[in-house]
Chain A
Amino acid sequence: MIILDNVHYSYDGIYTALRGVSLQIDAGELVAIMGNNGAGKTTLIKHFNGLLRPQKGHVFIKGQDTAKMSVAEISRIVGLVFQNPDHQLFLESCRKEVEFSLKSLGYPSNEITERCNTTLERLGLADLAERSPFTLSGGERKRVALASVLATGPQVLALDEPTIGQDARQKERLAEMLFEMNREGRTVIVVTHDIEFVINYFPRTIAMSDGRIIADGPTTSVLSNDDVIQKCSLTYPQMTQAVRALSEMFDGVSVRQTSVNDIVETIIKIVGGR
């Protein structure tokens, strides 16, 4: 679906934000991209829909070199949600915002209304439909930006830090929606610092640092590598920290478990067997 071949990018000709990135993401994958601040994640995903063009190397979308495609053409395939919703929202109501993106992709008007309503509803925005995005709370505004792209159901979804400003419940609802769209065959790519979100929902993780991919593979193996955790400036989730501490105190505690339930069982075994 998306292939990057040795992509380089520099904003100012001095500092290189991407230094030879190659990757392949197949149709229907669910992929997380993680990395420290300034690693190049946003720069990378802006290449997925042609907002940025490689200064060296190539980006292929569905086999076509993006050098020969317009942003309009690419954005029919790849829907991108920006890290900062302010860079995306410009209309006077949430409804108009979502309808605009549906219109620009040529949806018929009856479908526009329906898609708009369902998406706003699912993202907990139904009551805010007529409000101006600029008067919304930060988390709400982020969800409007997500709605305007999710509503169009693109083949590839590329989301830059979608969980910013979201409470636990909203995060779960968003994950459900992404799952559902993925089950329909869509490719879902998410940039995030939220390691629990990634461990819970994403089978594949690409780890970036200093403009390069430093690991790419099954989430469980990428995120259990101390070197990756350090370079990507991540910290282990609480449950991992807990089992690591427990395994030093007690024999026979497996450090591979991460869920609350696993750990509860482990603790019951420890204290029950005293």
Chain B
Amino acid sequence: MGLIRFDNFSFKYYGTEKLALNKVSLTIDRGEYVVITGPSGCGKTTLCRAINALIPQFHRGYIGGHVYVNGMDTREHGVSDFASLVGMVFQNPENQLVTLNVEKELAFGPENLGVEPVEIRRRIEEIIDLLDLKSLREKHPHEMSGGEQQRVAMAAALSLKPEILVADEPTSNLDPQSAEKILEIIAYLNKEKGMTVVLVEHRLDLVAKDATRVILMDKGQIVVDGPPREVLVKDICHEIGVGVPKAVEVYRELIERGIRLPGVPLTGQELATLVQEVAE
């Protein structure tokens, strides 16, 4: 059945001429970690909006086909029906932050879902600790740097303890170490707590190693879908302008030069280990 299912789904934003999603069919099962990538403007954000029913409930336009999340058709259920199920981190963190300070921001989602106040307090403390937000506690979103806002946006989504996390370029404003830390937390929640992850990212060197599956989109369609080590070696990545990890580039170049490593490396360390295997 699939936790998330796109059934021949198309969408065209009101007032535009071209389909932002063009006959997308896709099934995502519980516990998967799916990375969505593709050129700027190819429909990644639109796909995310379709998962939490912002499309078609909030964004108007032409709709074809259906999206089902946990069996609910997003055409027939309001955004609030998906609120406890799908935690969303928007591409622009500033648009997501609605309250006056970080604590309120983290409480906002769970409060709306009717979570007990004691439990809310507990979660806030846990998340402030987990994402290292102590110094930002009392700050207004407009008094934060871009990266700080983005950390808070992720924290707010996680405070819902969602079954599905949909994160749209969630580390774009983060310094590399903070990005790694957040991605580690997401990978942990995926592996240990079974949280399903759908994450949009251009920098595949950061996330490919965590993903169970990479989906490549172009012009509103899914062009490749499979395990990272299979998808990222394909020529199409280069053809549509997607940046693959440098370790994969080395792997491909070595094949040209007559050397085939026994596996596809996604990180620098993996590359070195594979070279060692061959050299022995």
A binds B: yes
Chain A residues engaging chain B, CB cutoff 8 angstroms: 11-12, 35-38, 42, 83-84, 86, 124, 131, 135-140, 143, 161, 164-171, 193, 195-196, 232-246, 249-250, 260-261, 263-264, 267-268, 270-271, 274
**Pair A37/B147 contact, Cβ less than 8 Å:** yes
Quick check: is B172 within 8 A (CB to CB) of the other chain?
Answer: yes
**Which residues of A sit under 8 angstroms from B246, Cβ to Cβ?**
196, 237-239, 242, 260
Pick the most buried of A42, A169, A240: most chain B CB atoms within 10 A of its CB: A169
**Pair A166/B40 contact, Cβ less than 8 Å:** yes
In the bound complex, how far is the Cα of B143 from the Cα of A82, in angstroms?
15
Known: A12-B143, A238-B247, A268-B254. A169 touches B39 (CB 8 A): yes
Q: Interface code B241-280, partner A: CB below 8 Å = 1, 0 otherwise?
A: 1110111011001100101000000011101110110110
**Pair A271/B243 contact, Cβ less than 8 Å:** no
Determine how close the nearest CB of chain B comes to the CB of A130; give it in whole angstroms: 11
Q: Interface code B130-146, partner A: CB below 8 Å = 1, 0 otherwise?
A: 00000000000001011
Quick check: is B103 within 8 A (CB to CB) of the other chain?
Answer: no
**Pair B253/A193 contact, Cβ less than 8 Å:** no
In the bound complex, how far is the Cα of B145 from the Cα of A238, in angstroms?
27
Size of the chain B interface, CB-CB below 8 angstroms: 55
**Which residues of A sit under 8 angstroms from B267, Cβ to Cβ?**
238, 241
Quick check: is B176 within 8 A (CB to CB) of the other chain?
Answer: yes
In the bound complex, how far is the Cα of B272 from the Cα of A271, in angstroms?
12
Q: Which of A83, A143, A168, A250 contacts B202 (CB 8 A)?
A: A168
**Pair B176/A235 contact, Cβ less than 8 Å:** yes
Known: A37-B151, A84-B146, A138-B91. A232 touches B275 (CB 8 A): no
Determine how close the nearest CB of chain A comes to the CB of B231; give it in whole angstroms: 15
Chain B residues engaging chain A, CB cutoff 8 angstroms: 13, 15-16, 38-41, 44-45, 91-92, 94-95, 143, 145-148, 151, 168-169, 172-180, 202, 205, 240-243, 245-247, 249-250, 253-254, 257, 259, 267-269, 271-273, 275-276, 278-279
**Pair A138/B269 contact, Cβ less than 8 Å:** no
Could you list 17 examples of A-B contacts with CB < 8 Å? A38-B148, A42-B145, A86-B95, A138-B91, A138-B168, A139-B40, A139-B41, A143-B40, A164-B173, A167-B242, A168-B242, A235-B180, A239-B250, A250-B279, A261-B253, A271-B275, A274-B278
Task: Tell me the nearest residue of chain B to A83, going by C-beta.
Answer: B146
In the bound complex, how far is the Cα of B111 from the Cα of A212, in angstroms?
40
**Which residues of A sit under 8 angstroms from B249, Cβ to Cβ?**
260
In the bound complex, how far is the Cα of B246 from the Cα of A250, in angstroms?
21
Task: Tell me the nearest residue of chain A to B45, going by C-beta.
Answer: A137
Determine how close the nearest CB of chain B comes to the CB of A177; give it in whole angstroms: 15
Known: A138-B45, A166-B202, A260-B253. A193 touches B175 (CB 8 A): yes
Task: Tell me the nearest residue of chain A to B144, going by C-beta.
Answer: A38
Determine how close the nearest CB of chain A comes to the CB of B23; give it in whole angstroms: 20
**Pair B39/A167 contact, Cβ less than 8 Å:** yes
Q: Which of B16, B179, B272 contacts A249 (CB 8 A)?
A: B272
**Which residues of A sit under 8 angstroms from B247, Cβ to Cβ?**
238, 242
**Pair B169/A165 contact, Cβ less than 8 Å:** yes
Q: Which of A165, A232, A246 contacts B40 (CB 8 A)?
A: A165
Q: Which of A36, A84, A242 contacts B250 (CB 8 A)?
A: A242
In the bound complex, how far is the Cα of B173 from the Cα of A35, in angstroms?
12
**Which residues of B sit under 8 angstroms from A161, Cβ to Cβ?**
146, 173
**Which residues of A sit under 8 angstroms from B173, Cβ to Cβ?**
37, 83, 161, 164, 193
In the bound complex, how far is the Cα of B25 from the Cα of A163, in angstroms?
31
**Pair A241/B180 contact, Cβ less than 8 Å:** no
**Which residues of B sit under 8 angstroms from A267, Cβ to Cβ?**
250, 254, 259, 275
**Which residues of B sit under 8 angstroms from A237, Cβ to Cβ?**
246
In the bound complex, how far is the Cα of B95 from the Cα of A241, in angstroms?
36
Known: A164-B172, A242-B269. A264 touches B92 (CB 8 A): no
**Which residues of A sit under 8 angstroms from B259, Cβ to Cβ?**
267-268, 271
**Pair A233/B279 contact, Cβ less than 8 Å:** no
**Pair B146/A42 contact, Cβ less than 8 Å:** yes
Known: A131-B16, A165-B172, A167-B243. A37 touches B148 (CB 8 A): yes
